[in-house]
Amino acid sequence: MLKKVLIVDDSMAEMKLMQSVLEQAGYWPVPLNDPTRIEQTIDAEHPGLILLDVVMPQRNGFQACRELKNHASYSQIPVLLVTSKNTDSDRFWGQQQGADGYVVKPFTPQELLGVVQKFL
């Protein structure tokens, strides 16, 4: 059975890259470029993991992660922040919002898969 991974990123190039890496490794990526539709997409697709960009319009990844982790229906889904924000304070803030992991862009396919495999 393929394991679904929800990819939330407003950059089509980044989303396509993550999709390609995941598909080649046997995962089933579900792309989403609208962070306001995360819960709706989770309800429809039931992913086992969420890859979440931080810098997005309307709803940033820190905010989305915090809201997911504070919601009973979504709190058990692992959330990995995938972002170019690479300071210790960014990582700390992501952890404070409930993120289960942190991947810094640009990443290698091995880095992304290594973190994904820890949760799926």
The mean of the pLDDT values for the chain is: 96
Average pLDDT over residues 40-44: 97
* Structure confidence by residue, pLDDT tens digits, 61-111: 999 999 999 999 999 999 999 999 999 999 999 999 999 999 999 999 999
Residues 112, 88, 52, CA angle at the centre, nearest 5°? 40
Classified as helix, coil or strand, 113 is helix
The answer to whether the beta carbons of residues 12 and 37 sit under 8 Å apart is no
Per the CATH hierarchy, to which homologous superfamily does domain 3-119 belong?
A: Response regulator (3.40.50.2300)
Domain limits, the chain: 3-119
Integer CA distances (angstroms), 60 to 9, 64, 67, 75, 118, in order = 10, 6, 11, 17, 24
pLDDT of residue 2: 65
The answer to whether the beta carbons of residues 51 and 7 sit under 8 Å apart is yes
